[in-house]
Amino acid sequence: MASVRQVQVTFDCAEPERVARFWCEALGYVVPPPPEGFASWADFDRTLPPERRGSGFACVDPTGVGPRLYFQRVPEGKVVKNRVHLDVRVGTGLVGEERVAALEAECARLVAFGAVRGRLLLADEENESCLGMQDVEGNEFCLD
């Protein structure tokens, strides 16, 4: 049985570059270099047929630890809640008010980049506090 070595997370969206750049800000990811022979992704994009221009964009963890994120344009808009979402781990090791303060601070930072704040779920007997959010196209994610 083969073992999995890498994972890419793919998002369907309307504006791949816009959503990718949001996630670069959210996660500290970077846009990978363009293909050899191109000074920028815009230069590369201009070589594609008109219907494919702007149809995809990616971002990567500069440390090489996290998964590559790929954003692909699809014609339909988001209709229902995501079946899979990212948890952005900003409160690891924190509890109580200190954890909530870290979640709220990160929430405020991401709202400045176009995210939408959702509901704060306070800790209970089984789970630590987390804060639901949406990215620039309405995809749900959690700060935890």
pLDDT reported for residue 125: 87
Whether residue 23 contacts residue 59, with contact meaning beta carbons closer than 8 Å, is answered with: yes
Q: What does the pLDDT average to over 87-112?
A: 95
Kindly report whether the global pTM for this prediction surpasses the value 0.75: yes
pLDDT reported for residue 112: 97
Give the full edge-to-edge strand order of the sheet including 140-143: 86-88, 140-143, 130-134, 116-121
Q: What does the pLDDT average to over 82-86?
A: 86
**Rounded distance, CA 87 to CA 20, Å?**
16
Burial 52-82 (b: 16+ CB within 10 A, else e): eebebbbbbeeeeeeebbbbebeeeebeeee
Distances, alpha carbon 51 to alpha carbons 48, 58, 70, 73, 139, in Å: 8, 18, 18, 11, 24
Q: Is the pLDDT of residue 102 over 70?
A: yes
pLDDT exceeding 70 applies to what percent of the chain? Answer: 98
What confidence tens digit (pLDDT) does each residue in 32-46 have? Answer: 999 999 999 999 999
